């Protein structure tokens, strides 16, 4: 059985793009790739939780960051994990200039659309990492 791909979203609390990263991660792990992906909370890695570090060392991770400080990618690498792909929500934003997300606790419609666009990009990466052909 193939290892699940770890999805590590930024745990941003101060900006809409952090919420988009988190919502996108939920869309991937719950709707688009359930059973093939696993959500990994960043807080456990910050703490240095051993169990989480072992999980991290056995699978590739996709880090989704909400801002240029790239906490998710940096913390995964710092915990000994392998960032197979690091995504910036800002880059997804640039590819969808019509979507201008707002809201943090509750994303607006634009934010949810952007989260789905992000999730589709992540799904393609997951397919590639697992050697599965993506039929668009």
Partner 1 sequence: MPELPKKKVGLIACSGEEIPEGTITRLAVRQVLESLRPEQTVTICLPLFLAGGEGDRAFARFHPTITVDGCAKRCAARSTEMYSGKPAVSMVVGDSVPANSAGLGSARRLSATGMQVVREIADQIARHVDRLLDLKWDRRSGQPLASSLPQEESRTRQAACSCGFGIPVQTLQVAGREVTLIALPLIFAQFREAGKLPSDSTKTELMQAVKICNPVPSEEEAAYAQAIMQEYAAFCRGSN
| Cβ closest to partner 1, residue 40 vs residue 125 | 40
Q: Closer CB to partner 1, residue 24 or residue 60?
A: 24
70 near partner 1 (CB under 8 A): yes
How would you classify the pairing of strands 5-9 and 60-65? parallel
DSSP state string for the chain: -PPPEEEEE---SSSHHHHHHHHHHHIIIIIISBTTEEE--HHHHHHT-HHHHHHHHTSEEEEEESSTT-HHHHHHHHTT-EEEEEEEHHHHHHH-TT-----SSS--HHHHHHHHHHHHHHHHHHHHHTT-----
Q: How far is the CB of 1 from partner 1 (least distance, A)?
A: 21
Q: Examine residue 13 and tell whether it contacts partner 1 (CB under 8 A).
A: yes
State which of residues 6, 16, 20, 22 lies at the interface with partner 1 (CB under 8 A).
22
User: Is there binding between residue 11 and partner 1 (CB under 8 A)?
Assistant: yes
Q: Which of 92, 39, 105 is nearest to 65 (CA)?
A: 92
Q: Does 119 sit near partner 1 (CB under 8 A)? A: no
Among 49, 108, 124, 127, binds partner 1 (CB under 8 A): 49
Should residue 83 be labelled a site residue for partner 1 when binding is judged by CB under 8 A?
A: no
Residues in touch with partner 1 (CB under 8 A) = 9-15, 18, 22-23, 25-26, 30, 39-47, 49, 67, 69-72, 74-75, 78, 104-105
């Amino acid at each position: 059985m193939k290892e699940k791909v770890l999805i590590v979203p930024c745990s941003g609390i101060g900006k809409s793009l952090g919420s988009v990263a988190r919502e996108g991660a939920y869309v991937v792990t719950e709707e688009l790739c359930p059973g093939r992906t696993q959500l990994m909370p960043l807080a456990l890695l910050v703490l240095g939780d051993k169990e989480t570090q072992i999980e991290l060392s056995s699978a590739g991770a996709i880090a989704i960051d909400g801002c240029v400080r790239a906490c998710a990618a940096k913390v995964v690498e710092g915990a000994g994990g392998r960032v197979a792909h690091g995504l910036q929500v800002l880059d997804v934003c640039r590819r969808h200039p019509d979507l201008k997300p707002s809201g943090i606790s509750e994303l607006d419609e634009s934010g949810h659309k952007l989260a789905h666009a992000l999730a589709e990009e992540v799904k393609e990466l997951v397919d590639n990492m697992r050697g599965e052909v993506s039929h668009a």
